[in-house]
Amino acid sequence: MAEAKEKKLQKKSGVHMFDVVLYIVFIIICLIVIIPMWKVVVDSFNALGVYQFRFWPENPTFNGYLTIFNTHKLYRPFMNSVITTIIGTFIGLALATLGGYVLNQYDMPGRNIFSMFLMITMVFTGGMIPEYLVMKQLGLVNSMWILVVKHGINVYNLVLMKNFFEGIPASLIEAAKIDGCSPMGIFFKIVLPLSKAALASIGLMFAVTIWNDYSTVQIYIQDPDQVNFQYMLRVMIMDGDTPTSPYKNVSQETLYYAAIVCAILPFMAAYPFLQKYFVKGVNVGAVKE
């Protein structure tokens, strides 16, 4: 009996130590992530550019953000990013959900052939030069809409949606068919309402991809009125092309950090509202019953 009690105490103490170590590691990881972000936020409000870490700005000012939103050179790319991200995400979700729903119809003629062609594009691409020639023929060179068209269809996301649709109970679909519901009626009334987690997670993937894409802009766009905010941010920091601020007490470092905050703020604001769906949708299509 004594030995059994000692083993139980050892097990309890071992679990307790594991929890302590786990909490310590988690806190360290959080600090590694939060401290750089906090420095960027603080320095974006600091009128004097400093390289040391400070918990609070010494000379608080909003002039860095006012410069970004009142300077055409920065405001226009920011709005381009917002517009292309919203429209591109909507189109991407529409094509991914419709494509995944169609490929999930096992009685559709040519279903396997269409699936094969889509899968091939995940392994092989036409290359940069053929892609450039196609975009030029479509009139998308020097146009911000190239971000919408290029990312409008993503086969990986389409396959994720297809796998998620396969997890919807077939009894619901059969009951709807018996009640006389059309295929599109089943899609809008049953499939989509049950797919909030998948829509949130995959929609976030589309949005992040479009918002952060600066390489496409660098290759296809030379018109400064058509570039996105990520490209302009890269030009500001890497090439030192900082716009002149009409406000006083605004250093280049303040503008840099304010622009970085503006670049990450939309998703920082949206993620808390999508978190409950995103956590559920992380394993979309990974688990089958």
Predicted confidence band of residue 7 (pLDDT cuts 50, 70, 90): low
Identify the pLDDT of residue 283. 53
Does position 279 have pLDDT exceeding 70, yes or no?
Answer: no
Examine residue 286 and state whether it is found in any structural domain, yes or no.
Answer: no
Examine residue 274 and state whether it is found in any structural domain, yes or no.
Answer: yes
Q: What percent of the chain has pLDDT over 90?
A: 9
Does position 277 have pLDDT exceeding 90, yes or no?
Answer: no
Examine residue 54 and state whether it is found in any structural domain, yes or no.
Answer: no
Q: In the predicted model, what is the mean pLDDT of the chain?
A: 80
Please give the residue that has the higher pLDDT: either 58 or 229: 229
Does position 139 have pLDDT exceeding 70, yes or no?
Answer: yes
Instruction: Give the mean model confidence (pLDDT) for residues 267-285.
Output: 66
Choose the weakest-confidence range: 110-119, 193-202, 237-246, 249-258.
Answer: 237-246
207-223 pLDDT tens trace = 889 998 888 898 898 88
Examine residue 53 and state whether it is found in any structural domain, yes or no.
Answer: no
User: Which residues span the domain enclosing 229?
Assistant: 69-281
Examine residue 118 and state whether it is found in any structural domain, yes or no.
Answer: yes
Examine residue 206 and state whether it is found in any structural domain, yes or no.
Answer: yes
Examine residue 213 and state whether it is found in any structural domain, yes or no.
Answer: yes
Instruction: Give the mean model confidence (pLDDT) for residues 123-137.
Output: 84
What is the CATH number for 213? Answer: 1.10.3720.10
Predicted confidence band of residue 278 (pLDDT cuts 50, 70, 90): low
Examine residue 24 and state whether it is found in any structural domain, yes or no.
Answer: no
Does position 289 have pLDDT exceeding 50, yes or no?
Answer: no
Could you tell me if 210 and 146 are in contact, meaning their C-beta atoms sit under 8 angstroms apart?
no
Identify the pLDDT of residue 88. 92
Number of domains in the chain: 1
Does position 15 have pLDDT exceeding 80, yes or no?
Answer: no
Predicted confidence band of residue 68 (pLDDT cuts 50, 70, 90): confident
Does position 288 have pLDDT exceeding 50, yes or no?
Answer: no
pTM for the complete prediction?
Answer: 0.77
Does position 250 have pLDDT exceeding 80, yes or no?
Answer: no
Identify the pLDDT of residue 11. 53
Distance CA 37, CA 58 (A): 17
Does position 121 have pLDDT exceeding 60, yes or no?
Answer: yes
